[in-house]
Amino acid sequence: MTNKTDRIIIFDTTLRDGEQCPGATLNIDEKLVIAKQLARLGVDVIEAGFAIASPGDFEAVSKIAKIVGTENGPVICSLARAIKADIEAAAEALKPAVKGRIHTFISTSDIHLEYQLRKSRAEVLAIAEEMVAYAKSFMTDVEFSPMDATRTDPEFLYQILERAIAAGATTVNIPDTVGYTTPNEFGAIIKGIVENVPNIDQAIISIHGHNDLGLAVANFLEAVKNGARQLECTINGIGERAGNASLEELVMALHVRRQYFNPYLGRPEDSQESLTNIDTRQIYKTSRLVSNLTGMLVQPNKAIVGANAFAHESGIHQDGVLKNRLTYEIMDAQLIGLTDNQIVLGKHSGRNAFRTRLKELGFELSDTELNKAFVRFKEVADKKKEISDWDLEAIVNDEIQQTPDLFRVELVQVSCGSNARPTATVTLRTPGGEELTDAAIGTGPVDAVYKAINRVVNVPNQLIEFSVQSVTGGIDALGEVTIRLRYESRVFSGHAANTDIIVASAQAYVNALNRLYSALQSQEKPEEVSAQKV
């Protein structure tokens, strides 16, 4: 495969770079759930983690490689610094995958060489060449990244890319590590590589970029016009600092404007063939899943997947859309899997109908997960007459989240009003099976509930974020609660959905506390690996 391929390869790094977003830490089972969904979405490559970072990261990469990295599945990739131990760990973790890739990197900008690596250009050239060859001794698919490429001297960049390709790199990635470049500059960098790296036709040109200036997607699209054929991106654009280039925005930009981009990929301008392998109907569900599991909410005005992306309030817009959607909508909401809020199930629906509808929505649950979700469905159906697809998604996502099953909410009771002091009584089942009850007074019902829970769990923490969203319209809508709390320098998230937002608030808080409590109880204290950026 060369960089002249007529389609765009989608490289998803949600589970690696996306997870580096503060508060977005995922456990192994959650990573696996997301990886399975990314495979359904149709991504070409899943960067499953940084195998050397910790035993947990190694296990996650290995598990995803085994379960998702099948013959018909995506390439499974692990990041590795240009260090033998990193490359060996990546290779070992990727062994179960039918198609594995080692992605190795080293800094190349003068500022990184001087202050971070403290090495000369000659030393970095030698290391890159040696380590790419070492990675190649483990597997045929090797990717090389010169970190901080957009601030690297072009002549040195051409030189190190040529050496890396000669050593066996099949993909060379050009990262805008600090989100500094602009579209014209990024396009010029890619054009310069195409014109000045003699063996560039032996590798795919990839790009990776951060959104510090809000230009990541625009930068990527300009790079595509100049020869980039792999896009490294994340669901909802999550990632360090201001995040990464957003997968859904890139995919839909290439889809909606494919007649514009077709000639740059050597296709007839009027070709209707998709430029990526992505099943766009899976985009919305993937966005929701990642948002729920990471606790990173999607802003309402977010392009493609935000709650307002297909909403129209202006009278002129509403009138135009009613007459012809093309007047104010450039794509069909159903194209991303956002279906009408159709009522499909009720309290009399049976397990088979429930399972069938979930399969139609793309959920593949184990018998245990199905049983848990069905119990929750019945509970909600008793309180809410009409159950929509959105409700079903919220129920299932809430139930299949893999949080440590330590403390469990057994009872929540509150008393509040305009002239009353908000008081809450809670009963929790402890990890030892004991039921403990306590009560507290707060500034509001949720504050009172949290104070009562804290009295039972007795783990110091600071609540830093609390948000409530309605899944659907109506007074009986499910309320989704997401909270984030801090303990020392670490952030833990919790999520829950319920028709009673006080109960959902309690469950979300306990979910986060369980993650915190589990981390405190763990005896494993893996050494942190620095320089995880690319």
266-280 pLDDT tens trace: 999 999 999 999 999
What is the per-residue pLDDT across 341-365, written as a single tens digit (0 to 9) for each?
Answer: 454 577 777 888 888 878 777 677 7
Query: What does residue 308 show for φ and ψ, rounded to 5 degrees?
Result: -100, 5
Statement: residue 2 has pLDDT above 50: no
Statement: residue 315 has pLDDT above 90: no
Tell which residue, 227, 209, 206, 229, has the closest CA to residue 218.
Answer: 209
Identify the pLDDT of residue 357: 78
Of 382 and 440, the structure prediction assigns the larger pLDDT to 440
Identify the pLDDT of residue 4: 57
Cα→Cα distances 140→134, 203, 232, Å: 11, 12, 20
Cα→Cα distances 377→136, 346, 374, Å: 50, 9, 5
Helix (H) or strand (E) holding 367, with range, is: helix 367-383
Distance separating alpha carbons of residues 224 and 407, to the nearest angstrom: 50
Identify the pLDDT of residue 484: 84
- C-alpha dihedral over 259, 230, 210, 302, to 10 degrees? 40
Identify the pLDDT of residue 94: 98
Query: What does residue 458 show for φ and ψ, rounded to 5 degrees?
Result: 60, 45
Tell which residue, 35, 31, 32, 33, has the closest CA to residue 19.
Answer: 31
Identify the pLDDT of residue 52: 96
Identify the pLDDT of residue 441: 96
Tell which residue, 227, 230, 165, 223, has the closest CA to residue 198.
Answer: 165
Statement: residue 209 has pLDDT above 80: yes
Tell which residue, 489, 482, 478, has the closest CA to residue 509.
Answer: 482
Annotate 481-495 with b (16+ C-beta within 10 A) or e (fewer).
Answer: bbbbbbbeeebbbbb
Of 514 and 190, the structure prediction assigns the larger pLDDT to 190
Distance separating alpha carbons of residues 514 and 519, to the nearest angstrom: 8
pTM of the model: 0.81
Identify the pLDDT of residue 451: 95
Is residue 322 very low, low, confident or very high in pLDDT (cuts 50, 70, 90)?
very low
Q: What number is the average pLDDT over the span 423-442?
A: 94
**Single-letter residue type at 425:** T
Q: How far apart are the first and last CA of the chain?
A: 24
C-alpha triplet 513, 518, 521: angle, nearest 5°: 125
Identify the pLDDT of residue 531: 44
Identify the pLDDT of residue 238: 95
Distance separating alpha carbons of residues 417 and 433, to the nearest angstrom: 34
Distance separating alpha carbons of residues 520 and 490, to the nearest angstrom: 11
Distance separating alpha carbons of residues 429 and 407, to the nearest angstrom: 6
Q: What number is the average pLDDT over the span 388-399?
A: 74
Looking only at the bridges linking them, the beta strands covering 9-12 and 462-470 are unpaired
Tell which residue, 206, 198, 179, has the closest CA to residue 103.
Answer: 206
Lateral strand order in the sheet of 423-429: 408-415, 423-429, 435-441
What is the per-residue pLDDT across 132-189, written as a single tens digit (0 to 9) for each?
Answer: 999 999 999 999 999 999 999 999 999 999 999 999 999 999 999 999 999 999 999 9
Identify the pLDDT of residue 523: 43
- SS3 for 73? coil
Q: What number is the average pLDDT over the span 398-425?
A: 85
What is the per-residue pLDDT across 74-100, written as a single tens digit (0 to 9) for each?
Answer: 999 999 999 999 999 999 999 999 999
Identify the pLDDT of residue 223: 98
Distance separating alpha carbons of residues 221 and 204, to the nearest angstrom: 16
Helix intervals (H) in 70-141: 84-93, 110-112, 121-136
Arithmetic mean of pLDDT over the chain: 87
Identify the pLDDT of residue 61: 97
Q: What number is the average pLDDT over the span 216-229?
A: 98
As given in the structure block, the two tokens for residue 381 are 């159906």
Statement: residue 21 has pLDDT above 80: no
Q: What number is the average pLDDT over the span 258-287?
A: 95
Statement: residue 532 has pLDDT above 70: no
Query: What does residue 277 show for φ and ψ, rounded to 5 degrees?
Result: -90, 10
Helix (H) or strand (E) holding 40, with range, is: helix 28-41
As given in the structure block, the two tokens for residue 167 are 């050593």
Identify the pLDDT of residue 27: 80
C-alpha triplet 208, 214, 220: angle, nearest 5°: 35
% of the chain at pLDDT higher than 90: 58
Identify the pLDDT of residue 403: 65
Distance separating alpha carbons of residues 504 and 376, to the nearest angstrom: 13
What is the per-residue pLDDT across 443-476, written as a single tens digit (0 to 9) for each?
Answer: 999 999 999 999 999 889 999 888 887 776 666 6
